[in-house]
Amino acid sequence: MTQRFLMKAAIAFSMTLAACASRTPAVADALDLSHYKLVFDEDFSQPSISAHGPGTRWIAHTPWHGDFGDAHFVDPRPGFPFDHDGKTFRIGMHRTADGRWESGLLASVDEKGHGFALQYGYFEIRAKLPKGPGVWPSFWLDSFVPAPLEDPSIEIDIFEHYGKFPGAFNTTVTSWPKAGHGDHSSKMYISKVAEGSLSSGFHRYGVMVTPEWCIFFLDGEEFWRTPTPPNHKHPLMLLADLGLGGGWPISEAPNPAYMSIDYIRAYVPTSCRPATEGLPAQAFPPDLKPCS
């Protein structure tokens, strides 16, 4: 994810709302899941997390072994970077005695491609974000494309929040080509919200990925949509992290900081069969046609 960090650091808040939007709905559409089925429901009442797997629902690193930002994503240990404050699950970040920053990341697929991933569907997190300059929490999807396949990786950032800007968050859809195979492309939208509202309470952030559109929702209301990249061919894993910096100063970053998560969920369309990992064959009717 070095590429991810460098690109976001270069473009963070350098684009205007008008320039970033593919389509901003004049009248927001409400979320309708009547034709979707819940297949991944994580409420963190009994977190299943290990450093690299196997056998846990989450691992604490990206499966491609790539950290990003100014905090190191550490292996889980008692009480850090994952804990429960008595009400909700939290990802914590702190600065150690020797000046190093440590934080946490969750990924639903391990380095061998085992875990939960879904090509098309609806993905949602309910979370309360930390406040303060330097914090960089994110909820995102990524297609892990193993060698020798040369397809690009598709990254969908449902939200990235730069604490320096307490009244906004970024949403991005990016196609990352493998070396020598295709061009990089990215579309971003910056959502304006009431200043401080992302850290003062919980909100629902979601995306509906279809063969035609990536449609983004905040608290059940559509705020942006952009065409699904035509080279999107693989299931998308779930990731959530509390990053640091993202190209912005960290000298005044809060120590400690917490991202609170109520749940992470994923739904499959009941009208077609998307490519998946981690779902049993009986999850879909045998005669259901593939999504295309």
**Could you give the residue numbers annotated as active site?**
155, 160
Q: What does residue 275 show for φ and ψ, rounded to 5 degrees?
A: -70, 135
Q: How many angstroms separate the CA atoms of 92 and 23, rounded?
A: 35
If one counts every other C-beta atom within 10 angstroms of the C-beta of residue 154, the result is 23
Answer whether the bond into residue 81 is a cis peptide, omega within 30°. yes
SS3 18: helix
Q: Is the dihedral of CA 16, 135, 204, 47 positive or negative?
A: positive
Position 231, amino acid: N
CA angle 243, 126, 156 (to 5 degrees): 55
Q: How many angstroms separate the CA atoms of 195 and 203, rounded?
A: 14
Q: Residues 6 or more apart from 279 whose CB is under 8 A from it?
A: 39, 116, 118, 268
